Amino acid sequence: MKRAYSCKDSVISKSHHVVIGITCAQSCVVLPARIRAFHEAGFHVSVLSGPGQQLDDTAQAVGVDVHPIEIQRGIAPLADCRTLIVMYRLLRRLRPDLVEFSTPKAGLLGSIAAKLCGVPTRIYSLRGLKMESARGLKRSILLAAERLAASCAHLVVCNSESLRAKALALRIAPAAKLAVLGEGSSNGVDVDRFSPGFSTVRASFGISADAHVLGFVGRLTCDKGLPELIAAFTMILKAEPETYLLLVGWFDAAEDALDDRLRTLILSHPRILFTGFVGDTAPYYRAMDLMILPTWREGFPNVVLEAAATGVPVITTLCTGSRDAVVPEFTGLLIPPGYPEAICEAALKLLRDPPLRQRMGLAARSWVIEHFLDTQVLGLTVAYYTNLMNQDSTESSAHIAKDLSVLQ
């Protein structure tokens, strides 16, 4: 079904060409709705990413031009120089009207290449700060990279208010250059797809109807709080033996990858259910009593909004980005990061109070419908980007940022 994205009061030029750049193909899972919104508004969209099956699937699903480029996720100066040259040549050939680069490495190299090419409108989409979980020299390098990427962009669009506040405090960019569109979130939620309803997931795993199911959705990494979640689950099982932990995601080979001991424990534990990568997560949310995201850093977690739209209360942390995705004691619970005991206490509170879970679930879905419909969030993005491109390209980024209040 074709979805109507609200972008009134915007004049779209059929000649507008937008390039969206990300580091890793697995990040393409969040792009289809965004690409469709641009397509339906009359844009020509190209996607630049590291190669992978998800990039190919995106090209087939939404009919977008894709350009696979080898991009190293970690710090790799020589490889990064080669990637920068390839990006520069590609942008020179494509001649886009606007670029939107996100994720740390693509955000840095893409923003530099776009500035060198003189792309008229350059957006750095800040979806989180990897440096928040780094220490020492690595943190300093990552912070310098964020500042350089921001300096090459006309505007830095932050996923959430807390992320904007953090970026401002770290002097990643001046206030006039940091924007949050609407209430935040890069995509919003399709509340028809993510909705309460019947699911066969419990039956497929042999879980009884009266058992408890705690859920997690996303990359299985240290920065997502998996070590703390597994430790907390051991405590929870002692108090509520008829409980399962449903891990919907994959072992990401990132710098914060889980060690072999923890991976083995997850794969061998009789009460931990591991799915691997899942293309459609909607039925899995419906199998959960509550979802837990014990993350150390976020921009604005899509999975929390998806769970909320499904009527599932969420426990997440007070960290940047994640704290914007829950209304504490109303749609879920907020806890400090790094404490398995806090996860255990919050989970037991909700597991032992079904009426409270139900009230939170209903409130969570209503909150998402009010603030984060995908049609509204993406319509606002399309309208804002269109206005940027329709302005004189010689205007300063500070002048461009002034129009933000009109669209919020």
- CA-angle at 124, arms to 122 and 130, nearest 5°: 160
Instruction: Take residue 136 and report the two structure tokens written for it.
Output: 């020492």
Alpha helices in 7-52 (DSSP H): 32-40
Residue 8 has pLDDT above 60, yes or no: no
- 18-67: pLDDT as tens digits: 999 998 887 878 888 898 899 888 899 999 999 988 888 888 888 888 89
Closest CA to 127 of 77, 187, 48: 187
Query: Quick one: average pLDDT of 61-86?
Result: 89
- CA-angle at 389, arms to 383 and 391, nearest 5°: 105
Spatial contact of 43 and 71, defined as CB atoms under 8 Å apart: no
CA separation for the pair 277, 248 (Å, rounded): 7
In this prediction, residue 61 carries a pLDDT of 81
Query: Quick one: average pLDDT of 330-355?
Result: 98
Single pTM value for the model: 0.89
CA separation for the pair 347, 341 (Å, rounded): 10
CA separation for the pair 401, 177 (Å, rounded): 6
Spatial contact of 185 and 162, defined as CB atoms under 8 Å apart: no
Closest CA to 338 of 317, 320, 324: 317
Domains and CATH numbers, the chain: 17-188+373-407 (3.40.50.2000), 201-371 (3.40.50.2000)
Spatial contact of 105 and 75, defined as CB atoms under 8 Å apart: no
Residue 69 has pLDDT above 80, yes or no: yes
Spatial contact of 181 and 404, defined as CB atoms under 8 Å apart: yes
Q: Is 336 exposed, middle or buried (0-12, 13-18, 19+ CB in 10 A)?
A: exposed
- 127-148: pLDDT as tens digits: 999 889 889 999 999 999 999 9
End-to-end CA distance of the chain: 27
Spatial contact of 272 and 331, defined as CB atoms under 8 Å apart: no
CA 234 from centre of chain: 28
Phi, psi values for residue 273, rounded to 5°: -110, 115
- 255-303: pLDDT as tens digits: 889 999 999 999 999 999 999 999 899 999 999 999 999 999 999 999 9
